[in-house]
């Protein structure tokens, strides 16, 4: 199948399955200017699938970098009223949301992290209606990748820019299962998660213990009313959509007050255009009490100080080392892909859909029940080839979940 045909099928997959766009619905697209050709294809597909109106918010990493470098700190402490109303009104009107990523992993290297933190805080305060609609399943949302030359050159530094971009497009389309009938492939992919989720939910584990030869020795508590999800998300209205294309993870929101021990990274983290390498965290009673990194410690500090709960965990995700994305042999330098090549944890916001009755609860009620609440959500990869994960029930019975990086059974 030639590339133009695959791109068209990818666009259809994104609209029909990722966003699950309904006829007469609005669509809000956030896209970098480097992906203009593919974004136009997505917009065309959205209209062909019955979109009422498509709004595209274009952005450029280098322009954003100039703003961070030159604008005064107070600029980042507020969000323009028109911008907040745009996002909040889109949520109010039931629009679907699509985020097209084409990361430049070094675009924000060395920026003032306090400006980044201030912007995140201000955004979540001013656009609370928008973010709550996403968090509580009232908005269909989807994040996808679209290669640019800057991203491709980071992934394949020894290739010419043109060949690197073509190689990265192939990898993106392969991991998205874009073949003869990608929509059918994703229906089957969704079903493939069901057996694992059912088994994990039937075990009623009280906590998980992680061990690996890199020094990881870490225990994370689970919630009695929490449950495991994966493969996609059921919206508050009962419709089904895929927030991430690709996805290989089964995940839950842990007990925000129970995380103890030390955990080491398995892959680099690219966070908003800044790189973090070879890092670790030490936890006590759910909070990070110490951390370090060979590169990017200031980025970690910014993440952990975003607000009072950003130093606690909102996600625990299981991904076998022998996953389709890991087996590509590619380090994507983009969390959307790399998190699906490794077990991971995430600081910040937890998931209402991973807690019984979570969609009917407020943020405050979920926090009281043990689901973390924060203005941020940052995944970091911890799964190694020799990682063992043991599930421990209330009565102390231990059950192997992962052995040497993969499912134990």
Question: For residue 241, what pLDDT band results from cuts at 50, 70 and 90?
Answer: very high
Q: Which long-range contacts (CB under 8 A, 24 or more apart) does 77-81 make?
A: 77/118, 77/121, 77/122, 78/122, 78/126, 79/122, 79/123, 79/125, 79/126, 79/127
pLDDT tens for 143-187 read: 999 999 999 999 999 999 999 999 999 999 999 999 989 999 999
At 106 the pLDDT is 82
Fold classification of 3-185 is Thermophilic metalloprotease-like (3.40.1830)
pLDDT tens for 345-391 read: 999 999 999 999 999 999 999 999 999 999 999 999 999 999 999 99
Question: For residue 103, what pLDDT band results from cuts at 50, 70 and 90?
Answer: confident
* pLDDT(409) > 90: no
* pLDDT(209) > 90: yes
* pLDDT(69) > 90: yes
- The model's pTM: 0.94
At 104 the pLDDT is 85
Query: CA 87 to CA 382: how far, in whole Å?
Result: 34
pLDDT tens for 264-275 read: 999 999 988 889
Query: CA 106 to CA 9: how far, in whole Å?
Result: 31
pLDDT tens for 293-310 read: 999 999 999 999 999 999
Q: Across-strand partners of 284?
A: 287
Q: How far is CA 334 from CA 101, 107, 326, in A?
A: 9, 13, 13
Q: Which of 224, 284, 281, 286 is nearest to 257 (CA)?
A: 286
Residue 24 is inside which H or E element, if any?
Answer: none
pLDDT tens for 109-130 read: 889 999 999 999 999 999 999 9
Q: How many other CB atoms are there within 10 angstroms of residue 93's CB atom? A: 12
- The ranges of the chain annotated as CATH 3.40.1830.10 are 3-185
Query: CA 174 to CA 130: how far, in whole Å?
Result: 32
DSSP secondary structure, 105-166, as one string: TTTTTT--HHHHHHHHHHHHHHTHHHHHHHHTTSS-EEEEE---HHHHHHH-TTS-HHHHHH
User: Residue 55: phi, psi to the nearest 5?
Assistant: -105, 125
Angle at 393 between CA 390 and CA 397, to 5 degrees: 75
Q: Of the ranges 28-37, 44-53, 218-227, 265-274, which one carries the lowest mean pLDDT score? A: 265-274
At 98 the pLDDT is 98
Q: Across-strand partners of 32?
A: 59
At 273 the pLDDT is 83
What is the average per-residue pLDDT within 70-83?
A: 97
At 19 the pLDDT is 98
At 282 the pLDDT is 98
Ramachandran category for residue 400: left, alpha or beta (phi over 0 → left; psi -120 to 50 → alpha): beta
* pLDDT(190) > 90: yes
What is the average per-residue pLDDT within 214-235?
A: 97
What is the average per-residue pLDDT within 66-70?
A: 96
Q: For the chain, what is the mean pLDDT?
A: 96
At 1 the pLDDT is 86
What is the average per-residue pLDDT within 98-107?
A: 90
Q: How many other CB atoms are there within 10 angstroms of residue 331's CB atom? A: 14
Question: For residue 192, what pLDDT band results from cuts at 50, 70 and 90?
Answer: very high
């Amino acid at each position: 199948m030639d590339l133009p045909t695959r791109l068209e099928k990818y666009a259809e997959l994104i609209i029909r399955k990722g966003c699950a766009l309904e006829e007469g619905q609005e669509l809000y697209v956030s896209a970098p200017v480097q992906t203009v050709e593919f974004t136009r294809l997505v917009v065309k597909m959205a209209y062909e699938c019955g979109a009422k109106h498509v709004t595209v918010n274009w952005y450029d990493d280098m322009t954003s970098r100039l703003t961070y470098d030159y604008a005064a700190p107070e600029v980042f402490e507020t969000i323009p009223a028109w911008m907040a109303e745009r996002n909040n009104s889109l949520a109010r009107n039931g629009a679907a949301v699509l985020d097209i990523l084409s990361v430049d992993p070094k675009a924000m290297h060395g920026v003032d992290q306090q400006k980044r933190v201030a912007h995140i805080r201000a955004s979540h305060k001013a656009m609370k209606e928008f973010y709550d609609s996403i968090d509580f399943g009232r908005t269909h949302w989807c994040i996808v990748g679209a290669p640019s030359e800057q991203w491709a050159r980071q992934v394949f530094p020894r290739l010419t820019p043109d060949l690197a971009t073509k190689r990265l497009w192939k990898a993106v389309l392969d991991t998205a299962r874009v073949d003869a009938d990608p929509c059918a492939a994703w229906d089957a992919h969704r079903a493939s998660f069901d057996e694992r989720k059912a088994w994990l939910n039937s075990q009623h584990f009280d906590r998980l213990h992680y061990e690996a030869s890199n020094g990881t020795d870490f225990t994370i508590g689970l919630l009695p009313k929490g449950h495991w999800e994966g493969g996609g998300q059921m919206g508050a209205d009962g419709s089904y959509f895929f927030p991430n294309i690709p996805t290989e993870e089964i995940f839950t929101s842990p007990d925000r007050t129970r995380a103890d021990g030390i955990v080491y990274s398995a892959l680099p983290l690219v966070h908003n255009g800044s790189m973090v390498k070879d890092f670790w965290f030490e936890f006590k009673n759910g909070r990070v009490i110490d951390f370090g990194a060979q590169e990017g410690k200031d980025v970690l500090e910014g993440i952990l100080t975003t607000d009072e709960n950003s130093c606690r965990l909102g996600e625990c995700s299981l991904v076998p080392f022998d996953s389709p994305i890991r087996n590509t042999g590619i380090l994507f330098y983009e969390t959307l892909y790399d998190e699906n090549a490794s077990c991971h944890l995430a600081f910040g916001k937890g998931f209402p859909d991973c807690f019984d009755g979570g969609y009917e609860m407020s943020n405050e009620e979920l926090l009281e029940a043990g689901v973390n609440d924060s203005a941020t959500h940052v995944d970091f990869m911890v799964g190694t080839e020799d990682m063992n994960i043991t599930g421990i029930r209330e009565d102390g019975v231990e059950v192997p979940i992962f052995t040497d990086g993969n499912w134990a059974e």
